[in-house]
Chains A and B, each alone.
Chain A
Amino acid sequence: MSSSVPEQVDLPGPPRGSGGRPAASREVSGRPPWMLVLPAVVGLAFLVLPLAGLLIRAPWSTLPQRLAEPQVLEALRLSLVCATVATAVCLLLGVPLAWLLARVSFPGRRLVRALVTVPLVLPPVVGGVALLLVLGRRGLVGQWLEATFGVTLPFTTMGVIVAEAFVAMPFLVISVEGALRGADQRFEEAAATLGASRWTVFRRVTLPLIMPGVAAGAVLCWARALGEFGATITFAGNFPGTTRTMPLAVYLALETDPEAAIVLSLVLLAVSVIILASLRDRWANTP
């Protein structure tokens, strides 16, 4: 963004034609510097090569009959439903939390912000144990839930959703808070001077402004929930049809039949890539 860069660094191709339409094209003209391109290519290879490994080792000849197994579809359906509901829960709770962190100053805000990222740092299995200690049958809150409503979360599909939401929410909160801090607050101030209440400002001005950030956060959150393993198996257990999501099925298949594990991983990958790619075009709308 800063115009002083070309003067300090000897770039191979300084921008010609004095920045014509900055809004239309965000790309910087000129040959990209190899100091950036080289690590970028290595980084891409690092991310993509394991996928290539899966594709090379996949048992293509037996693929159709392996996919036809009812257990695969069952696990896939469960994965998609749970990840989607978990994302919805994260949106409902996470967007307001991000707003609070970005727009309201209160004592201990820095601490709260750090606490929000705890599920990121925590090994997921530990997160699952922590959830059991709070929401389990003998947990602080779980005990009360069972006594009052007769609800127990572990070993239920609800439990899977809880575990996934716990692990995935920070991704949403962090991206939405980033979007809120980057958004131009003058629009909100203008709306407020025109008499809009804080709620109306949030709904009619802030939310549309930060929509790309919310969408990006939701996508991250969904992807993380879809791949969730540790917290799910620890908190919700593993039973076909109720709590065995694709990552759990992959892990168990790995114990006896690595080829089946590869097939399941590919299915999960293909489905998530298709969904994310189509959403990105229609919804997130970022080039």
Chain B
Amino acid sequence: MFRRLSRWAIALPVALALAGLSGCGSGRPATSSASAPASAAGGAEEVTVFAAASLTGTFTELGKTFEAAHPGTTVKFNFGSSATLAQQITQGAPADVFAAASPATMKTVTDASLAGSPTTFVRNKLQIALPKDNPAKVDELKDLADPKVKVALCAEQVPCGAAAVKALDAAGLKITPVTLEQDVKATLTKVELGEVDAALVYTTDVIASGGKVTGIAFPEADQAINDYPIATLAKAPAGDLARQFVDLVLSPQGRDVLTKAGFEAP
């Protein structure tokens, strides 16, 4: 039985991995003889960017722009919770650029003198996210305090949760959520699937959901605006390229991509 089992257990991941690889491989042009020595010289043609999960869409797009402007360069991304990324960096992960979803997470990296001075490049505001059919008939923030309304919030330990607490405090509301999610995407998923009646997520997440959820802006969100800092890392293996990537993010072109996704200019 185990032999037959292991055949399945091996075949499936291998098939999936092959499917994934073929998708990545097809886009890469054959390396020209001119650029080959440069990449062999020590992998300087690669920029590794650690970025908050909420930047996934915009930074992937900016990465493609950067690669087009710097032929032969690849931008590698590690998207995740800002706190996890900060921890990976302080534990020695080889990153060139760090873009965090909160000044606090950036601070753990700058405190360890691992990064240059960070620049705030965008800000993000909370919105109420509702399933398309709005089953609990939520119109405004105070509706979330109704015990019959199932609400998902981010856990207080992650930036979107800290922002939610601030906004609810500003509104003087006490809410008992059914769940405290570990990141904003998980919170959004609960709304998309209709498992909760409402959630507090970022404006950008509402836009990124592509119409699967409805977003309602609320005035108290202004009390809980999240600043996103970006910095090159002190030991950046890619050096100049890292700075150039940050420049692109801060450029009008970068700003344009980011505001289209719902971010606000700082």
Chain A residues at the B interface, C-beta cutoff of 8 Å? 110, 113-114, 117, 120-121, 129, 132-133, 136-138, 154-155, 174, 177-178, 181, 233-234, 237-239, 243-244, 248, 251-256, 258
Contact = CB atoms under 8 A, between A and B. Distances in A.
A133 to B, nearest CB: 7
Nearest to B178: A155
Contact of B5 (A129, A174, A256): A174
Interface in B184-206: 186, 189-190, 193-195
A243 B180 CA distance: 10
A255 B181 contact: no
Contacts of A238: 155, 179-182
A113 B189 contact: no
A254 B179 contact: no
Nearest to A234: B186
B77 to A, nearest CB: 19
B184 to A, nearest CB: 13
Contact of B182 (A129, A136, A252): A252
Contacts of B158: 255
Q: DSSP majority for the B interface?
A: mixed
Contacts of B84: 254-255
Contacts of B2: 178
Q: Interface range on chain B: under 10, 10 to 19, 20 to 34, or 35 or more?
A: 20 to 34
14 contacts: A113-B4, A136-B194, A137-B194, A155-B179, A177-B1, A233-B182, A237-B152, A237-B179, A237-B190, A238-B179, A238-B180, A248-B182, A254-B84, A255-B81
Interface in B145-184: 150, 152, 155, 157-158, 177-182
A120 B2 CA distance: 14
Contact of A252 (B9, B155, B190, B193): B155
B193 A132 contact: yes
B102 to A, nearest CB: 11
Interface of B: 1-2, 4-5, 8-9, 12-13, 81, 83-84, 87, 150, 152, 155, 157-158, 177-182, 186, 189-190, 193-195
Contacts of B180: 237-239, 244, 252
B155 A255 contact: yes
A256 B195 contact: no
Contacts of A117: 5, 8-9
B8 A254 contact: no
A255 B157 CA distance: 6
A239 B178 contact: yes
Given A181-B1, A254-B83, A255-B155, A138 B195 contact: yes
Nearest to B7: A114
Contact of A138 (B81, B87, B182, B194): B194
A148 B87 CA distance: 47
Nearest to B8: A114
Contacts of A256: 83, 157
Nearest to B177: A239
Q: Shortest 6 CB-CB distances between A and B: which pairs?
A: A237-B179, A255-B157, A155-B178, A255-B83, A138-B194, A256-B157
A243 B179 contact: yes
A38 B179 CA distance: 48
Nearest to A116: B5
Contact of B9 (A120, A239, A243, A251): A120
Contacts of B189: 129, 234
A153 B60 CA distance: 36
A254 B87 contact: yes
A138 B180 CA distance: 20
Nearest to B81: A255
Contacts of B181: 233, 237-238
Given A138-B194, A237-B181, 12 more contacts: A110-B4, A121-B9, A155-B150, A155-B179, A181-B1, A234-B189, A237-B152, A237-B178, A239-B177, A239-B178, A252-B155, A255-B158
A113 B81 contact: no
A254 B108 CA distance: 13
Most buried by B among A129, A174, A233: A233
Contacts of B194: 136-138
A174 B9 CA distance: 13
B189 to A, nearest CB: 7
Nearest to A125: B186
A253 B193 CA distance: 27
Most buried by B among A121, A137, A244: A137
A258 B5 CA distance: 38
A152 to B, nearest CB: 9
Nearest to B16: A121
A154 B84 CA distance: 26
A129 B12 CA distance: 20
Nearest to A177: B1
A250 to B, nearest CB: 11
A175 to B, nearest CB: 11
Most buried by B among A110, A244, A255: A255
A253 B182 CA distance: 11
